[in-house]
Amino acid sequence: MENKFAELRKRYEEVSALGSARAVLAWDQRVTMPPGGAPARARSMSALARTVHSKATAPEIGRLIGETWDWAQAKGPDSFEAAYLRVLKRDYDHATKLPSEFVGEMSAAASAAMAAWESAKKNSDFPSFAPHLEKMVDINRRQAEYLAPGEPHYDTLLDLYEPGMRRAELEPLLTELSEGMKPVLRAIAERRAAVSNEILKGDFEEGAQLALADEIVKALGFDFSKGRQDRSVHPFTTGFSLSDVRITTWTMRGWLPASIYASMHECGHALYGMGAPAEFELTPLAGGAGLGVHESQSRFWENFVGRSRPFCEWLLPGLRRHFPGKFDRVSPEQFYLAVNKSEPSFIRVEADEATYDMHIALRFRLETALLDGALKVKDLPGAWNAGMNELFGITPKNDAEGVLQDVHWSQGTIGYFPTYSLGNLMAAQLDEAMRADIKDMDGLIARGEFAPPLAWLRERVHRHGARYFPADLLRKAIGKERETAPFLRYIKTKYSAIYKF
């Protein structure tokens, strides 16, 4: 069986390598490709997607999975071989249910939709993007039907991003989270003027922002010999291998936190991507356990570290160095309060911790309605604006700061948004457990010593790669089930101190 397992690994390595090549094309499309290259890039990515799918679904792979399955499981469920077969079989079963022509169509449509979205966002022109979104919604329905005929479409799509999760489990968590946040948001609203973030507004040279962003992620542990940071229309992370992980950020000349926290967020994803064992390279175990787990890593570094008092103390000298004269009279406490001011905002990625999950609640509501057919794409801007008014009391001035702000639907990733809230919940659970183990956590952060928390995450989360489903990984990491209580405790403690309620 050792020889057959070696043959299976060799076949999968080719699939993985071709997948990485496709990821390079996708990264280039979003970072450096000229707009005119979109049609040709769509053709190239579609052709490569069909090639990858053909090799990934080869009958020989299915045969080898069947022949080595019992042998691998006999080594124990936690063994490399058993985990390898378990994850590969899930991927193979999914892939073989999707016709090659459909995979090519899906790739081409997503590539065209991405280009259309970038143009539409730039010009605040939803009607030009609407036909592409209609196609992506239709493709997602068809994909769900291929994968699980007769099953609820949203359950099937959600499972692609958060393995094992179902809508029936998700909705009570999101409801409990929203209900738990309502009294906090009401208390903040009554005292909103007590905190100012004016020191974060002004004219911040973009080159200095990017230089600072590089310094921050390097300090957190991002290895620039195995990765790079660039600019894109919407920040994202992609990995081609364990030793080549790319992140992007953005800059807003008049709003400094945009680049800082986008970089920290994407760095969290990258640290997870770089943290799997070397033996996972070119295997199905090299990815993360699920996107909720991935988001727990990004939200941990962005918020639980990045918006903490000790991190603000550490960062302030860097701000003074990169932006001379702007922060000379600002204290760490003033900076801490400014980056944690809570107020209704149009842009999800710029939302504070207290309001962020309401953005996810809106998107969850809208994408389930789109998928179920209760909402037409042409009516989406109106539904979006009505939802923003209901949840936040504000209405976007245009579609660029409203329905067009997020990239995900243009990529066809319906079912993805809830993983952000799941990530927040898991981040809070990990933070509580980490602080129980690392007694001087705040002192380490204030001194810029980020290696101990990263090492803790490497041991509890990163080293397992995709070996376990998210719920199983959380139990193994801290012995707990998913719950909202730690996150609600964290938010209530933090914001009651900031706003004194």
Higher pLDDT, 233 or 84: 84
Mean pLDDT of 398-415: 94
Reported confidence tier of residue 258, pLDDT bands at 50, 70, 90? very high
Which pLDDT does position 350 carry in this prediction?
86
Percentage of the chain modeled with pLDDT above 90: 96
SS (H, E, C) 145-171: HHHCCCCCHHHHHHHHHCCCCCHHHHH
287 pLDDT exceeds 90?
Answer: no
At a CB cut-off of 8 Å and minimum separation 6, what does 44 contact? Answer: 25
Condensed to tens digits (0 to 9), the pLDDT of residues 341-359 reads 999 999 998 899 999 999 9
Mean pLDDT of 276-304: 96
Q: Strand 244-249 relative to strand 227-231: parallel, antiparallel, unpaired? A: parallel
User: What's the pTM?
Assistant: 0.93
Separation CA 295–CA 268 (nearest Å) = 8
What domains sit in the chain, N to C, each tagged with a CATH number?
Answer: 2-151 (no CATH), 167-499 (1.10.1370.30)
454 pLDDT exceeds 90?
Answer: yes
Mean pLDDT of 312-319: 98
Which pLDDT does position 240 carry in this prediction?
95
Q: Measuring CA to CA, how many Å separate 436 from each of 309, 364, 433, 453, 481?
A: 19, 34, 5, 12, 17
442 pLDDT exceeds 90?
Answer: yes
298 burial level (CB within 10 Å; 0-12, 13-18, 19+): buried
Token code pair at residue 141: 């329905």
201 burial level (CB within 10 Å; 0-12, 13-18, 19+): middle
Condensed to tens digits (0 to 9), the pLDDT of residues 29-52 reads 999 999 899 899 989 999 999 999
φ/ψ of 200, rounded to 5, equals: -95, 0
Condensed to tens digits (0 to 9), the pLDDT of residues 136-170 reads 999 999 999 999 999 999 999 999 999 999 999 99
418 pLDDT exceeds 90?
Answer: yes
Give the DSSP letter string of 354-394. Answer: HHHHHHHHHHHHHHHHHHHTSS-GGGHHHHHHHHHHHHHS-
The closest of 460, 345, 335 to 396, measured between CA atoms, is 345
CB-hemisphere CA count at 13 Å for 51? 15
Mean pLDDT of 236-258: 96
Higher pLDDT, 234 or 201: 201
Residues 68, 86 contacting (CB under 8 angstroms): no
The closest of 307, 287, 297 to 495, measured between CA atoms, is 307
Reported confidence tier of residue 497, pLDDT bands at 50, 70, 90? very high
The closest of 275, 300, 306 to 289, measured between CA atoms, is 275
Residues classed as catalytic: 266
Mean pLDDT of the chain: 96
